[in-house]
Amino acid sequence: METFAEASAVRPAGPDVWGGAIQPGWDIAGNANGGYLMAIGTRALIASTGRADPVSVTAHFLAPGKPGPVSVRTAVVKEGKRFATATALLRATDRPVLSLVGSTGELDRTGDHQRPEDNDRPEGYELVDSGPPDLPPPDECFALVATDTFPPPFMGHVDLRLHPDDAGFARGEASGRPLMRGWFRFAGGEPIDTVGLLVAVDAFPPTIFNARQAPAWTPTLELTAHIRARPDPGWLRCRFATRFVTGGFLEEDGEIWDGSDRLVAQSRQLALVPRH
Amino acid sequence: METFAEASAVRPAGPDVWGGAIQPGWDIAGNANGGYLMAIGTRALIASTGRADPVSVTAHFLAPGKPGPVSVRTAVVKEGKRFATATALLRATDRPVLSLVGSTGELDRTGDHQRPEDNDRPEGYELVDSGPPDLPPPDECFALVATDTFPPPFMGHVDLRLHPDDAGFARGEASGRPLMRGWFRFAGGEPIDTVGLLVAVDAFPPTIFNARQAPAWTPTLELTAHIRARPDPGWLRCRFATRFVTGGFLEEDGEIWDGSDRLVAQSRQLALVPRH
């Protein structure tokens, strides 16, 4: 089985064009996971700008991604001292799949900002309003596996463990709270780089599954991820919540925390209320 | 004095190119307000896609915008039944200023989803976790005016009234909470369309002014706005908060509510911690 690094890789395929592939097995019911598609597009953003990490990436989802070759056309619009900005269009052979804009740069490792002397530098100022979600150990959480009514995500590429209080939807017992908390790692313990965090922010079942009874396709229109730091190796703790379902739209806000209790990514997506 | 509609207008200037201008007076200390720049770019997104409203728009800020002519080059990447998606690059004569991607569509007026029969349609399902901020009447709030240490926003184009509890920073007495709440309208009572909401989401002083003592330039790297509905005419109530200042970055989350107590926009920006 290929690693995430392999499954999301791109290679030069012409001026401002990068080649890659949507690998089978990164899908839910035949459609590639949105965060995985973003990861492929973001590899091209990184390659085109020559920076190490995504800092803020936005994707608009144009069509479902099916396994097969893809091309990513990039346009670098700014190369600054600290950040570069580029757009990208990820296409399957027959149609555009994803439109992206992102800024890239060089992020700290999670531990870098915990030096005491940082408090003396203005840019070292920090404020953290809340911490990682309180989760039972992974072995006491709910591992998502296939059921008759719920397909498993990613067919074994990703290890997801839901907080037991948020897993009721899978047996038809939604909690009534649009909240989804749990552990995330790649199968096989592959370290998660800053591009891998894009998979984490879109890997969990939609929060709305816990607000309503029947899980249904909840299409994402747009997803923005802010990457704050390079995560420590190991399990990530994730929290997704929705506050407003209005006008046929809902937002889903995500936070990803690493083993050092450091916020490594924040996300928000705009999705459409299922019409079932 | 020109209206917002005039100040943000674009006209065809070639295939996939739109002409406009950054008007003087929409700046803070010489740099055009970011939301106003987004509004100009979004007029081009709307014109190129032929849809009425922005639904989700992301801008990456490349350089300060100075008064003068601008061009916006657009590329439509999808024209769907319900939404269209396009990218845009807003340039001043000498450099790129703003890179955008957005999806456009046709939004409801704020009252449209309050019909009782909506509850019977799956897509009419709604959930609202909180309401508009509790504000004293506009006349009892703090109108931002120039002081020796704080320039007023927009030189009279925008009428901002801060919650008294959040206005202490202007006299050197930050509340200690990274929160900024207040009223917003255009000067002269010009109705606020869905593009005008982009100004509202970036019009208030940075939340961090209330967390630290000295207000300082807080550059926005990226701003995403979700527009949920066409607002009712009149004052808007706005709430901006920051939960995480880490690694030199901070997010600022905004909510905009109209006179019908309807959430009309949600925003998040990624900004850089001031280095002063």
> What residue ranges do the domains of chain A occupy?
1-106, 132-276
| Distance (Å, whole) CA A237 – CA A253 | 14
Residues of A in contact with B108 (CB under 8 A): 247
Fold match flag (B1-107 vs B132-276): yes
- What's the DSSP call for residue A213? S
Q: Which of A58, A123, A246 sits opposite B263 (nearest CB)?
A: A246
Where does A117-211 have alpha helices with state H? 196-200
With bands split at pLDDT 50, 70 and 90, how would you rate the model's confidence at B61?
Answer: very high
Residue B201 CA: distances (Å) to CA of A105, A165, A271, B194, B236 = 26, 35, 20, 11, 11
With a cut of 90, say whether residue A89 has pLDDT above it.
yes
- Picking from A81, A97, A22, A4, the residue whose alpha carbon sits closest to that of residue A49 is A81
Phi, psi of B152 (to 5 degrees): -75, 145
Nearest CA in chain A to B218: A123
User: Which pLDDT score is estimated for A52?
Assistant: 97
User: Which pLDDT score is estimated for A214?
Assistant: 67
Question: What's the CATH code, domain B132-276?
Answer: 2.40.160.210
pTM score above 0.90:
yes
Burial class (CB in 10 A: 0-12, 13-18, 19+), B31: middle
Q: Are B5 and B190 in contact (CB under 8 A)?
A: yes
What element of type H or E holds B159?
strand B158-162
pLDDT digits (tens, 9 = 90+) for A2-29: 899 999 999 999 999 999 999 988 987 7
Considering chain B, what percentage of its residues have pLDDT values greater than 90? 73
- Dig out the tokens for B130 from the structure: 């909180």
User: Which pLDDT score is estimated for B115?
Assistant: 53
| Fold (CATH) for A1-106 | Porin (2.40.160)
Contact between A244 and B266 using a beta-carbon 8 Å cutoff: yes
Nearest CA in chain B to A59: B101
With a cut of 60, say whether residue B213 has pLDDT above it.
no
Q: Is B130 on the interface with A (CB under 8 A)?
A: yes
- Dig out the tokens for A243 from the structure: 């506050």
Counts for chain A of helices (H) and strands (E), in that order: 3, 17
Among the listed ranges A187-191, A256-260, B114-118, which one has the minimum average pLDDT value?
B114-118
Q: Which of B228, B247, B268 sits opposite A107 (nearest CB)?
A: B247
With bands split at pLDDT 50, 70 and 90, how would you rate the model's confidence at A276?
Answer: low
CATH superfamily assigned to domain B1-107: Acyl-CoA thioesterase, double hotdog domain (2.40.160.210)
Three-class SS of residue A257? Answer: strand
Q: Which of A56, A107, A126 sits opposite B222 (nearest CB)?
A: A56
Q: How many residues does chain A have?
A: 276
- Picking from B18, B20, B17, B16, the residue whose alpha carbon sits closest to that of residue B6 is B20
With a cut of 60, say whether residue A114 has pLDDT above it.
no
φ/ψ region of B234 (left if φ > 0, alpha if ψ in -120 to 50, else beta) reads left
Residues in CB range of B210: below 8 A, 6 or more apart = B166, B168, B169, B174, B175, B176, B177, B178, B179, B180
| Distance (Å, whole) CA A26 – CA A120 | 45
Contact between A55 and B270 using a beta-carbon 8 Å cutoff: yes
- Picking from A247, A263, A145, A135, the residue whose alpha carbon sits closest to that of residue A197 is A263
Q: What average pLDDT is seen over chain A?
A: 91
Q: Are B37 and B202 in contact (CB under 8 A)?
A: no
With bands split at pLDDT 50, 70 and 90, how would you rate the model's confidence at A87?
Answer: very high
Place of tokens 């939609």: A206
Contact between B246 and A126 using a beta-carbon 8 Å cutoff: yes
The rounded radius of gyration (Å) of the Cα atoms in chain A is: 18
Q: Which of A78, A83, A129 sits opposite B243 (nearest CB)?
A: A129
With a cut of 70, say whether residue B109 has pLDDT above it.
yes
Contact between B270 and A107 using a beta-carbon 8 Å cutoff: no
Nearest CA in chain A to B108: A247
Q: Is A91 on the interface with B (CB under 8 A)?
A: no
Q: How many residues does chain B have?
A: 276
Q: Is B71 on the interface with A (CB under 8 A)?
A: no
Where does chain A have alpha helices with state H? 4-7, 34-49, 196-200
| Distance (Å, whole) CA A50 – CA A138 | 37
| Distance (Å, whole) CA A244 – CA B130 | 8
- Dig out the tokens for B13 from the structure: 């200037």
With a cut of 90, say whether residue A40 has pLDDT above it.
yes
Q: Shortest Cα distance from A11 to chain B (angstroms)?
A: 23
User: Which pLDDT score is estimated for A256?
Assistant: 98
Residues of B in contact with A273 (CB under 8 A): 122-123, 125
Considering chain B, what percentage of its residues have pLDDT values greater than 70? 90
Contact between B244 and A221 using a beta-carbon 8 Å cutoff: no
With a cut of 60, say whether residue A152 has pLDDT above it.
no
Q: Is B217 on the interface with A (CB under 8 A)?
A: no
With a cut of 70, say whether residue B119 has pLDDT above it.
no
More confident residue, A81 or A171: A81
At B204, the amino acid letter reads F
Nearest CA in chain A to B208: A127
More confident residue, A135 or A150: A135
- Picking from A175, A160, A170, A173, the residue whose alpha carbon sits closest to that of residue A235 is A160
Q: Which of A108, A128, A275 sits opposite B123 (nearest CB)?
A: A275
Where does A125-214 have alpha helices with state H? 196-200
Q: Are B206 and B271 in contact (CB under 8 A)?
A: yes
Phi, psi of B42 (to 5 degrees): -75, -30
pLDDT digits (tens, 9 = 90+) for B221-272: 999 999 999 999 999 999 999 999 999 999 999 999 999 999 999 999 999 9
Q: What average pLDDT is seen over chain B?
A: 91
Nearest CA in chain A to B213: A122
What element of type H or E holds A30?
none
With a cut of 60, say whether residue B32 has pLDDT above it.
yes
Query: A-contacting residues of B 7-46, CB under 8 Å?
Result: none
Q: Is B260 on the interface with A (CB under 8 A)?
A: no
CA distance between the termini of chain A: 36
Three-class SS of residue A73? Answer: strand
